[in-house]
Amino acid sequence: MIKEYLQAGQIVSTHAVRGEVRFQPWCDSVDFLKKFKKLYTDENGGDHYDILSVREHGNVAIMKIKGVDTVDDALKLKGKILYIKRSDARLPKGKYFVAELIDCTVVDDDDESIVYGVISDVSQTGANDVWHIAKNGSEYLIPAIDDVLKGVDVEKGVVRIKPLKGIFDDEN
């Protein structure tokens, strides 16, 4: 499902003495985060922070926020989750955010009346993502690979798959 504001990550600590913060990004890379000049304080696009700079530092991003100029200013932001505005993101056609996959209905590519469940989570592995499909209290795992995924329409909330044999109990 398309959401206008998506979680980008969390401020986890301060950095140095000029008000920079350590930001744990929840996106693929710090480079992706660098594209945003504003980050929002809630999922409804409430207040925002103007982002002056972002740089990679190990497994976190070091971020400079306009108006946050001291360690004390930065410390007040610790624990805060920040959001991106989806319309500010420039995703290539056919790409989507993990948050948009959650709650999408998973159907059979050949027969959309066969519903396998809804996506409840996504695990990122080295080779490919694994999508968690929930149905009637059970969980099924499908690899997010071209042989399985046949269509993703996050605007309609539908994912079409051709499941590998043995994934679903009621399969022939």
Tally Cβ neighbours within 10 Å of residue 142.
22
Global pTM reads: 0.77
Which residues lie below 8 Å from residue 41, measured CB to CB, with a gap of 6+? Answer: 47, 48, 49, 80, 82, 83
For domain 98-161, the CATH architecture is Roll (2.30)
For domain 5-88, the CATH architecture is Beta Barrel (2.40)
- Percent of the chain having pLDDT more than 70? 97
How far, in Å, CA of 59 to CA of 62, rounded? 10
Beta strands in 86-162 (DSSP E): 105-108, 115-124, 129-135, 138-143, 149-153, 158-161
134 burial class (0-12, 13-18, 19+ CB within 10 angstroms)? middle
In this predicted structure, the answer to whether residue 172 has a pLDDT above a threshold of 80 is: no
Same fold, 5-88 and 98-161: no
Pairing state of beta strands 105-108 and 158-161?
A: parallel
**CA distances from residue 163 to 92, 102, 117, 131, 144 in whole angstroms, order as listed:** 26, 18, 12, 12, 10
So what's the pLDDT on residue 124?
Answer: 84
Convert the pLDDT of each residue in 38-48 to its tens digit.
Answer: 999 999 998 99
Please compute the mean of the pLDDT values over residues 107-114 and round it to a whole number.
96
The residue ranges of every structural domain in the chain are 5-88, 98-161
Structure tokens at 43: 């999922």
Convert the pLDDT of each residue in 5-35 to its tens digit.
Answer: 999 999 999 999 999 999 999 887 899 999 9
Q: Confidence class of residue 169 from pLDDT cuts 50, 70 and 90?
A: low
In this predicted structure, the answer to whether residue 108 has a pLDDT above a threshold of 50 is: yes
Backbone angles phi, psi at 14, to 5 degrees: -95, 165
